[in-house]
Structure 1
Amino acid sequence: MEFVVIAQYRARASEADRVEEALRKMVSPTRAEPGNLDYQVFRDPDDPSLFVLFERYADSGAFDAHRGTPHFATWLAGVVLPSLDSRVRLDLVPLAR
């Protein structure tokens, strides 16, 4: 079953540009993952510390595989998460096909 993740990240003000750079580096390798269906990263133009990620995977196993990749370890776990003031992650599945 398709698996969707929507994440909202609020970077510390001094880290916002660093977070943007790391998130940009996540896009290409994540989109190239076999189970990835879509990966979008957004930044609020009125609040540059706010980022939203929209991710679609073939199933929850594909998302788990994504979390085990070198680019996730380097950029997301290594740079983005330690630079945040807060984060919210929604793990979602479709109601119907």
Structure 2
Amino acid sequence: MAYVVNATWTAEPGQEAVVLDAIEKLTAPSREEPGNRFYQAYRDPAEPSVFRLFEIYDDEEAYAAHGASPHFAKYALGQAIPVLAKRERAFYTTIG
């Protein structure tokens, strides 16, 4: 079974570019992490302040390692999350 994370980041008004920049910088190193199977951010043009991230890891420990990584600390915790109006996360495991 894999560990799946579905995150939604909603930027404060006027902070969309800051969040977008952080996600763009976070994506490549996140995809290279051991235990990462898939990492994709996306955005609905009708809701430019809402960013969604779909992530799949080998297990919960791999996700925890992602959250402890230097690139997550720099771009997520240090850049994007401080300018979010809302942050939501849902966690799942795959079947089969």
- Residue 42 of structure 2 aligns to a residue whose secondary structure is strand
Report 1:54-93 matches (<5 A): 54-93=54-93
**TM-score, length of structure 1 as denominator length:** 0.95
**TM-score, length of structure 2 as denominator length:** 0.96
- Residue 14 of structure 2 aligns to a residue whose secondary structure is helix
Structure 1 residue 3 corresponds to structure 2 residue 3? yes
- Residue 34 of structure 1 aligns to a residue whose secondary structure is coil
Tell me which amino acid in the other structure corresponds to 2:88: V
In structure 1, runs of 5+ residues without a counterpart are none
Partners of 1:58 and 1:86 in 2: how far apart? 27
Partners of 1:41 and 1:83 in 2: how far apart? 17
Partners of 1:29 and 1:61 in 2: how far apart? 17
- Residue 51 of structure 1 aligns to a residue whose secondary structure is strand
Structure 2 partner of 1:14: 14
Deviation (angstroms), 1:87: 1.4
Runs of 4+ aligned structure 1 residues displaced above 2 Å come to none
Deviation (angstroms), 1:13: 1.6
Structure 2 partner of 1:36: 36
- Residue 90 of structure 2 aligns to a residue whose secondary structure is strand
Alignment root-mean-square deviation, CA: 0.7
Structure 1 partner of 2:51: 51
Counting aligned pairs with the same residue, the percent is 41
Question: Would you say how many aligned residue pairs link Structure 1 and Structure 2?
Answer: 96
In structure 2, runs of 5+ residues without a counterpart are none
Partners of 1:88 and 1:27 in 2: how far apart? 18
